[in-house]
Copies of this chain bind each other. A is one copy, B any other.
Amino acid sequence: MESMIGIGDYLIEQILAQGVQHVFGVPGDYVLGFFKKMVDSPLQVVNTSDEQGAGFAADAYARLTGLGVVCVTYGVGGLKVVNTTAQAFAEQVPVLVISGAPGTRERVKNQLLHHKSNRFDTQMKIFEQISVATADLSDPDTALLEIDRVIEAVLRYKRPGFIEIPRDMVDYKVARLNKKPGLVKVQSEPETLKEALQETVNKINAAKRPVILMGDECYRFGWHEQSIRFAENTQIPLAVTISGKSAVPETHPLYMGVYAGALGDEAVRDYVETSDCLILVGALLTDVNLGIYSAHLDPSKIIFISNEKITIAHHTYETVTAQDFLQGLLEQEIHPCVFDWKKPVLLSDSYISKTGAKITVQRVFQQINAFLDCNMVVISDVGDALYGAMDLVTCRSAQFLATAYYASLGFAVPASIGAQMSNRDLRPLVLVGDGAFQMTGIELSTAARYNLNPIVVVLNNQGYGTERPILDGPFND
């Protein structure tokens, strides 16, 4: 006999199966039934002040655990997390957005239901623009398959997925599927892999100053450990992009620092830009990572390992996975490189207080750096907070979170809630400007409510300081 399960129960079961323990959101009448189900399950529901806060919290949770879940009501809830979901799309963060919706039966007779903006599918159409997969669970015959499809896509592509569950479907019982959900592993084509590896080995062995540049994909897809081992085997030094910061522990002997064109350290820039073999691991060449066009990288010297393909100079290997390629590199014979670069002294790890000395940005960051320990995660908002934070030294992987590409102000405070929920032993250190703090600082009330203890440093420069050098006016105050 087939066993039966409620559609809402199945959705919760699949979220739990991924190791998710916390869901972030704000309730509303179209999603109340599902909220009730969640609190009756092992999931902990974290209510934020505003939906925007839930979106950012889930994003941080996803960066640290592999999957974040936001749950909101229809329209007035879902449409408040469009921006945070767009950020997750841009920065490749696996976030699942679940929205309640009017029941399938109440829609038939009543066209003017509250929280409805245009058509019933308006919210769905909006999320199609910023998700790798979307599903409307109106049809009980396909609902379970749809749930599996969306979750698999989120995990595979590390980008947001969206599920809308009509309120009369939450308790609707359907027969369980025979198939077991799970990711089908993509295989590399062996001959292509062999050729790509051979070409890479030849390039590296012929090079005098190879260097590895790690980016955010590296951490998101779990390539950082292989990458660091490869560096250790070959003594090739490691740098990171701004958005890849802390993909490698920053106290590692082979670690050079953050490469960000003219915005980063001059010595790191010089080493990277004059390298005769630059190995990019999941490092997206965004405008911010490239120091707003100040970078000078020669494509013919680049080996680019991404989630989609391997690119060497001007040609690509499409049927090779990054995972297999990095594993293959670990098994190749590569001459150890001589890395004789003298690391510039960045921020000191001790701080001497001087009575009467002026508080400067530099001294603030020195003090923060001295204060950091291995149980902290630094979460930086956009702007001067981010540029200042580049010099901080984190001692473990993934101890630095920021939205360095999409650059949405207001990320850091709510992100600290998601980060600490993912691991209560982790203490968030939040760096945020006054502009961003005004947007989502209220979420500190959520932190207090759940007994979290983020340290929040507000860098008040009396306005949108990053914009002043571009074009100033009273609108930046």
Contact = CB atoms under 8 A, between A and B. Distances in A.
A192 interface: no
Given A52-B52, A284-B112, A407-B114, A470 B130 contact: no
Contacts of A467: 27-29, 32
Contacts of A288: 114
A69 to B, nearest CB: 14
Interface in A418-477: 438-442, 445, 464, 467, 470-471, 473-477
Interface stretch (A78-86, A199-207, A245-253): A78-86
Given A35-B473, A80-B52, A475-B35, A407 B126 contact: no
A439 B445 CA distance: 11
Nearest to A474: B39
The 6 A-B pairs at the shortest CB distance, nearest first, are namely A86-B117, A79-B83, A112-B286, A49-B438, A76-B408, A50-B439
Contacts of A35: 471, 473, 475
A417 to B, nearest CB: 14
Contacts of A474: 39, 45
Interface string A294-337: 00000000000000000000000000000000000000000000
Given A47-B475, A83-B82, A471-B36, A116 B129 contact: no
A288 B110 CA distance: 11
Interface in A114-132: 114-118, 122, 125-126, 129-130
Interface in A98-144: 110, 112-118, 122, 125-126, 129-130
Contact of A117 (B76, B90, B117, B477): B90
B129 A122 contact: yes
Copies held by the complex: 2
A157 B440 CA distance: 34
Interface of A: 27-29, 32-33, 35-36, 39, 45, 47, 49-50, 52, 75-76, 79-80, 82-83, 86-87, 89-90, 110, 112-118, 122, 125-126, 129-130, 284-288, 293, 405-410, 438-442, 445, 464, 467, 470-471, 473-477
Contact of A47 (B29, B80, B440, B477): B477
B75 A86 contact: yes
A255 to B, nearest CB: 25
